[in-house]
Chain A
Amino acid sequence: MIETSDKPRIEFTPERLERAKEILTHYPEGRQKSALLPLLHLLQEQEGWTPTEGMDYIAEFLGIQPIEVYEVATFYTMYHLEPVGKHVIEYCRTGPCMIMGGEEVYAHLKQKIGAQDGETSADQLFTIKPVECLAACGWGPCFQIREKYYTHLTIEKVDEIIDELRK
């Protein structure tokens, strides 16, 4: 359970508020709750993660109870309910990627950034999260950093990607 806090209120930036309003038009009258998942993505895009204050703001925005937002945010795996590093590396640990040598590649990745599953590197740059199949099995092993897919991973390729992101 999360302790209640007096953290400052979170709101969408004006530009995101416009996008949020546009999203609401996708659904029939009285069905605004449908916007919940897209709005949570919007929140996470803005904040980098999904803080409680932001969820409360969305509840208010949609005219629903905060618990309805918490129920949804905790059901899905993409919403980071705790602060994360700048780059969240979500690597696929499922069968096809595993048999394509995923384990070795990911072990190297973890060693390189110095963080284990669920951890954030000391420099706050990387958070590593194992996820299930990313629908890129034929191009595995693979991971995703925010919206971008990285496929056909090898140890060398991982080195390149991480070195690039560290710059």
Chain B
Amino acid sequence: MTTERPKILTDKTHIPGIETFDVYRKNGGYSAVEKALKTMTPDEVVEEVKKSGVRGRGGAGFPMGMKWSFLAKPEGVPRYLVCNGDESEPGTFKDHWLMKTIPHLLIEGMIVSSYALGANTSYIYVRGELMYVVRILEKAIAEAKAAGFLGKNILGSGYDLELYVQPGGGAYICGEETALLESLEGKRGNPRNKPPFPAVKGLYQCPTVVNNVESIATTSWIVNNGGDAYAAIGIGRSTGTKLISASGHLKKPGVYEIPLGLPVQEFIYSDEWCGGIRDGHHLKAVVAGGSSVPILPAAMLLKTANGEDRLMSYESLSDGGFATGTMMGSGGFIAMDETACVVKNTWNFSRFYHHESCGQCSPCREGTGWMEKVLHRIEHGHGSMHDIDLLVDVAKKIEGNTICPLGDAAAWPVASAIRHFRDEFEWHITHPQEATRPGAIFKGHMELV
């Protein structure tokens, strides 16, 4: 079954040369800027975004229009829009793909969004490793500026906007919005305590909106087609489409734009999307929304606790809470077949968070390292049974007690792996020799699909 799939972000990405201004423009690009600046007030743009129901695509899923309406507007104080292109969550590579493939889509979105928010200087913060993407964006910005879509008095509307790209320096934590702002101010990426929120005191202590690349890129379509048309796509409060970064043991890993509400089963197995698990293997577990979200065993991912088909939507993925559900997160869909070792993967993620903790607050600074070391021990055959409970307890002591959500993000993968794959952890402890053999596969009572 292949129905006509709505394409909001990827309708033009197949066109050769789409990264250039001319090709993008010839294919209808920058029409949203024309429409917004010539026929709409900023508040009308905000209104359309609100109506669309689009939710932040950076991970938290906070309604974008609502976030925009919280922006403080004191007299005489500049406001900023900062685009979060730090994309470093393991399993997520959609923003990277979008920015390098169709840079003008983001720039167009930045212009209409900045206009809506009344920002005259905006920044796109891109992780430093993607320096080649920084250069692509800078070139695209220069083209757009030359064509009069940026700079002073854009299209004669009286609206001015300067847009800059800022590279990071290599730090996952700078994806957290307040750490990003600190980094943009030329400091260490230490997240700030909140409140105050960026909407009140953000960049340079001025009101600021931080949005994900994908979130901002959708705004052009919303301006062109209206918020209601966007809201008509998707399911329930999960409106529109979402870019999913699919990786792991899939036949066709890659970036896909899916209508929210697509059954998970279809996403994995249909040839239209991932094409199923690589030949001769079976699905064991999935991390459905980037490394931070709880890992689920295959069967639990495909069906909710009530036996319904699980859908790719914010609500359905989190159905069952942490007991049997997970989260949409940033849409980093990591599939693992039976050859993947959950203990090893949990240790690997744990090392990631340990490596990326900024070190400001004690639970995360100390707890992430502790969890990593204990997991390393178990993975290498030196664990003991009480280590498992210790991990659960340490995760619990970190969760909710830190300055920023990195603490939670470090705790959840550990807690969920133990919740759902405890037998595999125990096997590592009781059968260290077997478990540490290269290529060892746990053949416990895991349900493969």
Contacts and interface: CB of A to CB of B under 8 A. Distances in A.
Direct A–B touching, Cβ under 8 Å: yes
Interface of A: 26, 28, 31, 33-38, 40-41, 62, 71-73, 75-79, 90, 93-96, 98-100, 131-140, 144, 147-149
A143 B180 CA distance: 24
Contacts of B187: 33, 36, 71-72
A101 B83 CA distance: 33
Interface string B164-190: 101111111000000000011111110
Given A33-B185, A79-B169, A137 B92 contact: yes
A72 B248 CA distance: 34
B204 A37 contact: no
Contacts of A94: 90, 291, 348-349, 352
A132 B345 contact: no
A31 B186 CA distance: 9
B190 to A, nearest CB: 8
B236 to A, nearest CB: 28
B170 A77 contact: yes
Nearest to B171: A76
Contacts of B96: 135-136
Interface stretch (B3-11, B59-67, B128-136): B128-136
Given A77-B171, A90-B129, A135-B129, 5 more contacts: A26-B123, A94-B348, A95-B334, A96-B91, A133-B91
B188 A135 contact: no
Interface string B246-259: 11110001110000
Given A75-B189, A95-B291, A99-B248, A38 B88 contact: no
Q: At the interface, is chain B mostly helix, strand, loop or mixed?
A: mixed
A139 B245 CA distance: 10
B171 A75 contact: yes
B436 to A, nearest CB: 14
B186 A33 contact: yes
B215 to A, nearest CB: 17
B78 interface: yes
B192 to A, nearest CB: 15
A75 B169 contact: yes
A37 B127 contact: no
A100 B345 CA distance: 12
Nearest to A71: B188
Contacts of B348: 93-95, 98
Contact of B352 (A38, A73, A133, A140): A133
Contacts of B48: none
B93 interface: yes
Most B CB within 10 A of own CB, among A72, A133, A139, A144: A133
B121 interface: yes
Contacts of A144: 129
25 contacts: A26-B164, A34-B166, A34-B184, A34-B186, A36-B187, A37-B169, A40-B169, A41-B167, A62-B186, A72-B187, A79-B170, A94-B348, A99-B345, A100-B247, A100-B248, A133-B90, A133-B91, A133-B172, A135-B87, A135-B93, A135-B129, A137-B334, A138-B246, A138-B255, A148-B132
B90 A77 contact: no
A135 B95 contact: yes
B248 A31 contact: no
A134 B93 CA distance: 8
A61 to B, nearest CB: 12
A139 B170 CA distance: 20
B87 A77 contact: no
A90 B90 CA distance: 16
A78 B129 contact: yes
Nearest to B246: A138
Given A72-B186, A75-B189, A133 B88 contact: yes
B89 interface: yes
A7 to B, nearest CB: 23
B90 A132 contact: yes
B186 A132 contact: no
B167 A138 contact: no
Nearest to B348: A95
Contact of A78 (B170, B184, B345): B170
B188 A149 contact: no
A96 B188 contact: no
The list of the 5 closest CB pairs from A to B, nearest first, reads: A76-B169, A36-B186, A78-B170, A77-B170, A33-B186
A25 B244 CA distance: 36
The interface centre, meaning the residue of A31, A78, A94, A148 with most chain B CB atoms within 10 A of its CB, is A94
B186 A137 contact: no
